[in-house]
Amino acid sequence: MYELNNEIVESFSEINKAIYRLIKTEADRIGITVVQLKALYRISSNPNISLGELAEKLRLTNSTVSGVIDRLVNSQLVERVVPPENRRAVSIHLTQVGKELVDRVYSPESLLYKKLNGVMSLPKDEIEHLLRLHKLVLSKLSLEEE
């Protein structure tokens, strides 16, 4: 039993490492950090996202994400926008340079795109089965009260 449990944990660990290495390779290629790349992706997928929403999606603190956004603003990849109807709100947008960078990372030439596309080429029923199993495992490992 213990050996099987260890094999499951090791499998998830190896997949996590492989995904991280792919993302890191792409981030290094374009000269940013993994967290910055993840932030750019989330911003591109969620126009007008707030700092708090971005922090939640990245599973990081507001102060950590604020520093990430500061560096992305300084690199002219994102901008903070204050909507005229609510001057207390701030949303984060990709600049044109930021959009072009995200497009490069998710272009058919990028290694990350090629590898993710390879996973997505698995049969649909296999992917659905995998996602069901992941949800089941996550529910079993969750620390939340039942």
Q: How confident is the model at residue 92 (pLDDT cuts 50, 70, 90)?
A: very high
Q: What is the structure's pLDDT at 91?
A: 92
The mean pLDDT of 31-44, rounded to a whole number, is 96
| Predicted confidence (pLDDT) per residue in 61-83, tens digit | 999 999 999 999 999 999 999 87
Q: Is the dihedral of CA 35, 40, 44, 48 positive or negative?
A: positive
Q: And the tokens for 132? A: 């069901």
Q: pTM of the full predicted structure? A: 0.83
| Predicted confidence (pLDDT) per residue in 108-126, tens digit | 888 988 999 999 999 999 9
Q: How confident is the model at residue 142 (pLDDT cuts 50, 70, 90)?
A: confident
User: Which secondary-structure segment (H or E) carries 22?
Assistant: helix 2-30
Q: How confident is the model at residue 145 (pLDDT cuts 50, 70, 90)?
A: low
Q: Rounded distance, CA 41 to CA 94, Å?
A: 10
CA angle 127, 140, 21 (to 5 degrees): 55
Contact 64, 75 (CB under 8 A): no
> In this structure, which CATH number among 3.10.20.740, 3.40.50.1360, 1.10.10.10, 3.40.50.300 belongs to the domain 2-141?
1.10.10.10
